Amino acid sequence: MQFEVIAKCHTTRARVCRMKLAHGVTMLPTFMPVATQAAIKGLTPQQVESLGITLILNNTYHLNLRPGIKVLDEVGGAHKFQGWNRNLLTDSGGFQLVSLSKFTNITEDGALFASPFNGEPTMLTPEESISIQHSIGADIIMQLDDVVSSLTVGPRVGEAMHRSVRWLDRCIEQHEKSGRKDKQNLFAIVQGGLDPTLRDLCLDAMIERKDQVTGYAIGGLSGGEEKEVFWKIIKQCADRLPSDRPRYSMGVGFAEDLLVCVALGVDMADCVFPTRTARFGVALTFKGPLNLKLGKHTKSMETIDKNCPCPTCASGMSRAVLHHIVTIETAGAHALTIHNLVFQAQVMGGARDAILEGRFPEYLRSFFFDYFGDTGYPEWCVNALRSVGVDLMQGVDVPLVQGSGVKWEYSDAA
């Protein structure tokens, strides 16, 4: 990896970086669409690449089950298997310790899974996770970490954090003896739940191993915790992680979350949200989500967003026809998936441009006013951005909204 910080925001901790990997350059900050099983649902790799996306995510656990490492080894890795020519990151399988917890037993050796497909036991150790990711051939590979739900409290959180550090050492050893360090880049994952003391202990340990990893992820969040706690943990980690390494916040996908994380110093994020929400008939826009299942769109010949460059909007596809086919015809999910991925790319691309041009605080104020001005600013966003010198409330008359403040259309009256 060649990693270079190109520009920094004069107010916040946001920055623009150039990350060169084996399959090309990815500019940061960026959002990574999730192709869990070697496909972004509804799109071909060529369509994804045509949208300007240069980095996607595959999942180690799922690709190990199907098609399996034997197939991946025979075809020369996941890039060739799925026809993807740009950069690829693989999650280690650690998240499945939470999402498939009823099938999982954790020991110091690793995680024993019962396959959700046929019930067969599968042992995923740190060494095995790295070996599978070597077969996948991802440009960025993640350590196997012991992940617990972000709402977990008590001694299990500390146990998981300390085990994640020990597992990192095993991942490093396996990666270093593989001879693949020049092709694949290992990231550490900071754990510690919602406990700042545990987070600091984990940061201490992982920063000590800086020379043996190429980047860092902030894990164990986006699991239902209060947003006021979420941003403080992100800030705590981003403030301390080395400036000459990429910083990746795992599982973040809402536009407001992305921009807060960028302002706090995060470079990369991923989430299934934009593609999954497309399949539920929701288009993401700079005015907020647009629920195309609602009857008010029945006769609307407007596009989703007249200023959007995505193929769905540029072709003139109307809200009326999307309302007619969405969640019924696959073409509807396909059209909304394309639009939502371009929206995410526009949010992050706009952030990069604003940082480069020295106007990132103004970009934040403009985005939040357009997105939340009619309903109220989420208080946690205001607090988070104030912590890095940007006051969204300055010069505007917008109410504060308690809680997550997530904007959504539930009815035609919305």
Grouped pLDDT means (10 residues each) for the chain, 414 residues: 98 98 98 96 96 97 92 98 98 68 79 76 91 98 92 94 98 96 96 97 98 97 94 98 98 97 98 96 97 96 98 98 94 97 98 98 98 96 98 96 86 65
Q: What is the pLDDT of residue 329?
A: 93
Check if 270 is active-site.
Answer: yes
Strand partners, 217: 189, 248
Contact 190, 219 (CB under 8 A): yes
* The one catalytic residue among 200, 270, 374, 397: 270
d(CA 324, CA 278): 14
Q: What is the pLDDT of residue 116?
A: 67
Q: What is the pLDDT of residue 121?
A: 81
In this prediction the pTM is 0.96
Q: What is the pLDDT of residue 97?
A: 59
Which residue in the block uniquely carries the two structure tokens 């597992």? 167
Phi, psi (degrees; rounded to nearest 5) at 327: 65, 0
d(CA 122, CA 65): 9
Q: Which distant-in-sequence residues (6+ apart) come within 8 Å of 359 by Cβ?
A: none
Check if 91 is active-site.
Answer: yes
- Ranges of H-type helices in 267-329: 273-279, 311-314, 319-325
Q: Is 97 exposed, middle or buried (0-12, 13-18, 19+ CB in 10 A)?
A: buried
Q: What is the pLDDT of residue 101?
A: 56
Contact 362, 384 (CB under 8 A): no
DSSP per-residue codes, 173-225 = HHHHTTT-TTT-EEEEEE--TT-HHHHHHHHHHHHHTGGG-SEEEE-S-SSS-
* The one catalytic residue among 73, 91, 139, 200: 91
Q: What is the pLDDT of residue 161?
A: 98
